[in-house]
Amino acid sequence: MIEPAVSRKIGTTAFAQLSLDSTEWKRAQWGLDKGLYAECVNDNKILDQIINEKAKIFASYAPEACRELRKLHWKDTQDWENLLPKNAKITGQLALSDFSQKKIKSL
């Protein structure tokens, strides 16, 4: 269901690797290397500091510039309104399939 957002962020090759190796857990460093994250920290206090610093920076930006940047960041996503529900339906059908249900019950 979230493929469009994840593929847009990490690229189709990395998404294919992620989905085809779905039983192999990926470490945070993998996500950082693929561009899924901008930063990765393992301490909540440091994370809070980074969030507060970023919030202060973002709050200092001109609102008009933020609006225009958002448009640039989200360009070519106009089909998501139809694509995401379609993907959710496919995901639901796959999760409810006999094969998936038997697999889940066997775990």
Please give the C-alpha separations between residue 74 and each of 4, 20, 85, in angstroms, as whole numbers: 12, 27, 18
Tens digits of residue pLDDT in 34-76:
999 999 999 999 999 999 999 999 999 999 999 999 999 888 8
Domain locations in the chain as residue ranges: 3-106
CB atoms inside a 10 Å sphere around CB 7: 16
Strand intervals (E) in the chain: none
- Tell if the pTM clears 0.75, that is, is over it: no
Q: How confident is the model at residue 80 (pLDDT cuts 50, 70, 90)?
A: confident
| Averaged pLDDT of the chain | 92
- Alpha helix (H) residue ranges in the chain: 3-10, 12-20, 28-34, 44-59, 63-73, 80-95, 98-106
Residue whose entry in the numeric block shows the structure tokens 């992620």: 18
When pLDDT is averaged across residues 76-105 and rounded to a whole number, the result is 90
- 35 φ, ψ (degrees, to nearest 5): 90, 10
